[in-house]
């Protein structure tokens, strides 16, 4: 992962991830920073959280892969329509490692924008 200022809690969380989860997390991290270089990264609800103003994007590593949380309802509808297996509940997208290669950076970027754009 590129050098990025983060607190020790975030660093510990990322270092504790299973090696197979890191590429997907790192991919999302790079997308967030490309789309929102002003974002700050903190630990909130015990997971890495990107903050842009009052908006938040949470990324959690789980057994299945990575889940991302928090956007206005309906803003992820195009993604959910194309990848119905990924949506698990309101405001949550579950990205399974086995499915993540079929998801483009543009599609993931759409999720980042849905959460962090004003």
Residue 78, pLDDT > 80, answer no
In contact, 36 and 116? CB cutoff 8 Å:
yes
Residue 107, domain member (yes or no): yes
Segment holding 61, helix H or strand E? strand 55-62
Phi, psi of 14 (to 5 degrees): -65, -45
Residue 2, domain member (yes or no): no
Residue 78, domain member (yes or no): yes
Phi, psi of 6 (to 5 degrees): -150, 155
Residue 65, domain member (yes or no): yes
pLDDT tens string 81-113: 777 777 667 678 889 888 888 899 999 998 899
Mean pLDDT of 54-72: 87
Boundaries of domain holding 46? 8-113
Q: Which two tokens stand for residue 26?
A: 């790192």
Mean pLDDT of 23-43: 94
Q: Which two tokens stand for residue 96?
A: 């399974």
CA separation for the pair 88, 94 (Å, rounded) = 6
Query: Dihedral sign, CA of 47, 57, 70, 56?
Result: positive
The percentage of the chain sitting over the pLDDT mark of 70, rounded to a whole number, equals 87
Our count of domains for the chain comes to 1
């Amino acid at each position: 992962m590129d050098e990025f200022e983060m607190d020790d809690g975030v660093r510990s969380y990322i270092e504790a991830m299973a090696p197979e989860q890191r590429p997907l997390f790192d991919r999302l991290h790079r997308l967030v920073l490309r789309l929102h270089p002003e974002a700050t990264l903190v630990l909130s609800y015990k997971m890495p959280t990107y903050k842009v103003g009052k908006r938040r994007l949470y990324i959690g590593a789980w057994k299945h892969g990575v889940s991302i949380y928090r956007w206005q309802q309906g803003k992820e509808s195009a993604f959910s329509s194309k990848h119905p297996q990924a949506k698990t509940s309101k405001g949550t997208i579950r990205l399974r490692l086995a499915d993540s290669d079929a998801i483009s950076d543009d599609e993931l970027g759409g999720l980042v924008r849905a959460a962090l754009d004003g």
